[in-house]
């Protein structure tokens, strides 16, 4: 609740509009005196036409006029300090609020300015902000402003609806823009690369558009909008999993499910590699011909494959952590060199290595900083889901085989390891049942 104390009132209003950088608080002092016993605080939306309001207020201070309705200003109305909804309505209707620190009265002054609707993104970032604010007249539309660049400052604005966004993505994008001080950020494409580097989303894809009507619709879906001063385009995104499927982000259960899927996606490489390992345990002829080398499994021990499998996954997870601080291309190169170097020691099987690399690169495609279209990510999403299903089956098979063979306390020899014909899954099921019964 807003405080009725004079000093607290303005501060609480500032706190209330803290994430709305398009709301201006301006103080008007008497120009010829240092006394601060009486001054005015103007609260208005940027681009609001002030006309002669400032000059009239200065005249009121100079002539000690204590009631603003005695000035040349027209349409002045007092507003209750407790009526926050009305205060919001007046500000977002392009009216100017004047708070008198002497009387403790806040008044609204109409500006009689109509907002002309435009359909395309303007070069002036303030005009773009005004168009969105004219549609969504509430502090829930957050507008955060950033000045990026070293030698030449460029204004960038992040706009979103507070109740509809994923908080993790919100914080990640906010930190990325706040830390951006590169002088090379001079175009929308540069900004696109920075925004696309946010890895908190399952599909962190941003699209560019010049259509303001589309932007207004995307805000209602829980997407972010990023404007850049001097650019006739805006970034919209990120298009996460449910955005691609056309589902609304208005309900938090969708976000909860998305976070679960995001965690599962991290382990796709684990499941896919488990599938390869389990097929080797069943019969090597189930695997395609090795594309790297024709290295046979040495010793045919469960322990041998398990150690190889664990080493690969530990390397992949370490590289995944490294990916938080480096570019995706560099991560993939480091991962490939690390695993290929182990291949030359003849310690890791070539096919397990190959499929682990494929799954790892597939995961990293989610964060590659490229302007790929939405259709590509729909296809990629389907591939990921299929990989996840097959990988989970493979991981389950590998666990079952490991438990059976370790419990039997037998090592793999050629006769024991390959008792079944290739792709004979009915025989595999009977074989497993027999082992479990024993």
Order of strands, sheet of 154-161, starting from the edge strand that comes earlier in the sequence: 141-148, 154-161, 224-228, 234-237, 207-209
Cα-Cα-Cα-Cα dihedral sign, residues 368, 332, 325, 222: positive
Could you give the dihedral angle defined by the CA atoms of residues 296, 297, 300 and 304, in that order, rounded to the nearest 10 degrees?
160
Q: Would you write out the chain's pLDDT as a tens digit for each of its 438 residues?
A: 444 444 577 888 888 888 888 888 988 887 665 556 778 888 888 878 777 787 778 777 777 777 776 677 777 777 877 788 888 888 888 888 888 877 778 888 877 666 677 778 887 888 888 888 888 887 888 888 888 766 677 888 888 887 777 666 677 677 777 766 555 556 676 676 666 544 444 444 567 788 888 888 888 877 888 888 888 888 887 654 444 444 444 433 444 454 455 555 545 544 555 555 555 544 555 444 343 334 344 444 444 554 455 555 555 555 555 554 444 455 455 555 555 555 544 444 454 555 555 555 554 544 443 334 444 445 545 555 555 555 555 556 555 655 655 555 444 444 333 333 333 445 545 555 554 444
3-state SS, residue 105: strand
Which pLDDT score is estimated for 167? 66
Which pLDDT score is estimated for 423? 37
3-state SS, residue 428: helix
Which pLDDT score is estimated for 49? 75
Which pLDDT score is estimated for 358? 52
CB proximity list for 223: less than 8 A, separation 6 or greater: 160, 236, 237, 238, 239, 243, 249
Structure tokens at 238: 């990120």
Contact 285, 422 (CB under 8 A): yes
212 phi, psi to nearest 5 deg: -70, -35
Which pLDDT score is estimated for 289? 39
Which pLDDT score is estimated for 382? 57
Between CA 127 and CA 279 the distance in angstroms is 61
Sequence spans of domains, the chain: 6-109, 125-250, 267-437
Between CA 76 and CA 63 the distance in angstroms is 19
Closest CA to 419 of 427, 408, 429: 427
Angle between helices 350-364 and 268-282 (to 10 degrees): 160
Which pLDDT score is estimated for 160? 87
Between CA 218 and CA 215 the distance in angstroms is 5
DSSP-derived secondary structure for 20-73: BTTEEEEEE--TT----SS-EEEEEETT---TTHHHHHHHHHHTT---GGGSS-
3-state SS, residue 186: coil
* 431 sits in which H/E element: helix 425-437
Helix intervals (H) in 283-373 = 302-322, 328-343, 350-364
């Amino acid at each position: 609740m807003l405080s009725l104390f004079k000093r607290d009132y303005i501060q609480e209003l500032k706190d209330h509009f803290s994430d709305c950088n398009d709301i201006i608080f301006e103080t008007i002092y008497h120009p010829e005196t240092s006394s601060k016993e009486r001054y005015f605080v103007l609260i208005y939306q940027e681009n609001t036409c002030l006309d002669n309001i400032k000059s009239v207020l200065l005249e009121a201070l100079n002539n000690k006029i204590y009631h603003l309705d005695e000035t040349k200003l027209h349409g002045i109305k007092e507003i209750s300090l407790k009526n926050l909804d009305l205060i919001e309505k007046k500000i977002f209707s392009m009216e100017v609020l004047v708070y008198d620190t002497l009387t403790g009265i806040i008044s609204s002054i109409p500006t009689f300015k109509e907002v002309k609707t435009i359909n395309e993104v303007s070069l002036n970032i303030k005009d773009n902000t005004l168009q969105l604010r004219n549609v969504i007249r509430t502090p829930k539309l957050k507008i955060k402003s950033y000045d990026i660049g070293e030698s030449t400052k460029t204004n960038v604005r992040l706009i979103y609806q507070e109740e509809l966004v994923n908080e993790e993505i919100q914080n990640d994008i906010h930190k990325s823009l706040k830390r951006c001080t590169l002088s090379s950020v001079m175009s929308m494409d540069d900004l696109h690369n920075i925004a696309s580097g946010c890895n908190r989303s399952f599909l962190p894809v941003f699209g560019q558009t010049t259509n303001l009507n589309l932007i207004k619709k995307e805000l209602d879906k829980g997407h972010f909008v990023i404007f850049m001063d001097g650019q006739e385009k805006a970034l919209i995104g990120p298009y996460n999993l449910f955005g691609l499927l056309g589902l609304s982000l208005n309900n938090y259960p969708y976000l909860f499910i998305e976070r679960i899927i995001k965690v599962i996606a991290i382990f796709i490489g684990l499941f896919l590699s488990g599938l390869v390992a389990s097929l080797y345990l069943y019969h090597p002829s189930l695997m395609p011909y090795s594309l790297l080398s024709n290295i046979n499994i040495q010793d045919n021990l469960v322990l041998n494959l398990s150690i190889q499998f664990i080493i690969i996954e530990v390397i992949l997870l370490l590289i995944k952590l490294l990916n938080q601080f480096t570019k995706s291309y560099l991560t993939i190169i480091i991962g490939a060199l690390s695993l290929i170097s182990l291949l030359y020691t003849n310690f890791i099987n070539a096919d397990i290595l190959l499929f682990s690399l494929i799954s790892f690169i597939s995961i990293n495609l989610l964060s590659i900083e490229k302007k790929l279209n939405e259709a590509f990510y729909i296809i990629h999403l389907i591939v990921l889901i299929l990989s996840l299903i097959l990988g989970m089956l493979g991981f389950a098979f590998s666990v079952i085989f490991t438990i059976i063979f370790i419990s039997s306390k037998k090592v793999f020899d050629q006769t024991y390891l390959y008792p079944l014909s290739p792709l004979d899954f009915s025989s595999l099921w009977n074989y497993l049942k027999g082992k479990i019964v024993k």
